[in-house]
Amino acid sequence: MIKIVTSSSIPVGSTVALVSLCNRLNADGYECRLFGPDHWHLDKCKSGTLAEFRPEKGDVIIVHDIGLHSASDLQDVTATIEANRSNRWQDILRRMVRGCFAGVKKPDDFTIVLTCQGDGCSARQTNLSLFHKVHCLSDAQKIPRRGKLPVFVCPNLADDLKTSASKPAKVAGVVGTIWRENQLELSIKQAFEDGMETVIIYGHLADPIYYYNDVRPVAEQYPGKVKFAGFVDDKQKLYDFVSDVYCSSAKPWSTVRVESALTGTRFHGPDSSGAEPMSNERILGVWVEALGLQQRAGRP
């Protein structure tokens, strides 16, 4: 079985991407489950809690944002995640000792693949020699410290979207998790400078302090014109409600530009990818090959 295990399963970009990957693999006949500590993902795909996760012989395990120092860390992932997040000096010292003396042998019974979702790669906190392969979303993530590990590159899958039959005029969407790295306040300002009449913020409120200190004061400069929609699971509905999308943070791995193109939505933001978009069929094919899975009949 393919098992995806992550340290966070709240509705942010990485979780959405892992849910999509899990669903696509299952739809193509590859048994896959996503395990996470939160509840949001449980009704989005074949899934389970971290307490239900156990590595078994023959598994292919895709790990996201979990610092591993030995294969035994996967036997109780909850304890591993909690230890990695602890700021107690005893736990910090324990992590340092484990990092120095951890075995470098890859497990023989199962395959471990590290997926680098955006900035949450955890490569600095993990023993890379444990992994059989590393997945990067773009060439920009292929940094030297991965050494001789086999690396495969492909973006995340995009939703199956279509061009909207009708769109509103001068309604901007600011799409992305609400935390500092996405610089939502800059997108709001730019949208109104470009003549937008309404701005809708779409995203999970991950950092309330950032929102109230940086985003809300900017929104209050445009009374009644900035709306907060929160996280919207239905991407088609999201893009049907906006004419333009604004992003201020350069992220080669973001699917927002691709989704905008699919729905006929004008995209405003930096593009640092420098690469041609990949179809979902091709992306899934890269995963199938990288995981050593047998190609299904009829696939390219």
* Residues 136 and 285 grouped into a single domain: yes
146 and 261 assigned to the same domain? no
Q: What is the pLDDT of residues 235-250, one digit of tens each?
A: 999 999 999 999 988 7
Task: Based on the fold, state whether residues 261 and 284 are members of the same structural domain.
Answer: no
pTM of the model: 0.88
- Give the pLDDT confidence of 83-96 residue by residue, as tens digits: 777 555 445 455 54
Nearest partner of 84 among 68, 100, 97, 71, judged by Cα: 68
What is the distance between the alpha carbons of residues 12 and 269, in angstroms, rounded to a whole number? 20
Cα distance between residue 41 and residue 11, in whole Å: 8
Q: Answer yes or no: is pLDDT of 252 > 70.
A: no
Q: In this structure, are 213 and 136 located in the same domain?
A: no
Q: Do 187 and 89 share a structural domain? A: no
Q: Tokens 């309330």 belong to which residue? A: 208
Q: Kindly state whether residue 202 falls inside one of the protein's structural domains.
A: yes
- Residues 4/77, Cβ–Cβ less than 8 Å: no
Convert the pLDDT of each residue in 200-239 to its tens digit.
999 999 999 999 999 999 999 999 999 999 999 999 999 9
Q: Name residues whose C-beta falls within 8 Å of residue 214's C-beta, 6 or more positions apart in sequence.
A: 180, 184, 185
Does residue 124 sit in the same domain as residue 263?
Answer: no
Instruction: Say if 163 falls within a structural domain.
Output: no
Within 10 Å of residue 103's Cβ, how many Cβ atoms? Answer: 12
Instruction: Let me know if residue 94 belongs to a domain.
Output: yes
Is residue 298 assigned to a domain?
no
Which residue range forms the structural domain that includes residue 207?
171-268
The mean pLDDT value of the chain amounts to 86
Supply the CATH number for residue 20's domain.
Answer: 3.40.50
Domain with 181 in it: what CATH number?
3.40.50.2000
Please report the pLDDT score of residue 278 as a whole number: 87
Q: Does residue 246 form part of some domain?
A: yes
Q: Are residues 147 and 191 in the same domain?
A: no
Residues 104-149 pLDDT 10s = 578 889 999 999 887 545 555 678 888 999 998 887 766 544 557 7
* First-to-final CA distance of the chain: 23
What whole-number distance in Å separates Cα of residue 267 and Cα of residue 244? 6
Please tell me whether residues 13 and 58 are part of one structural domain: yes
pLDDT of residue 72: 87
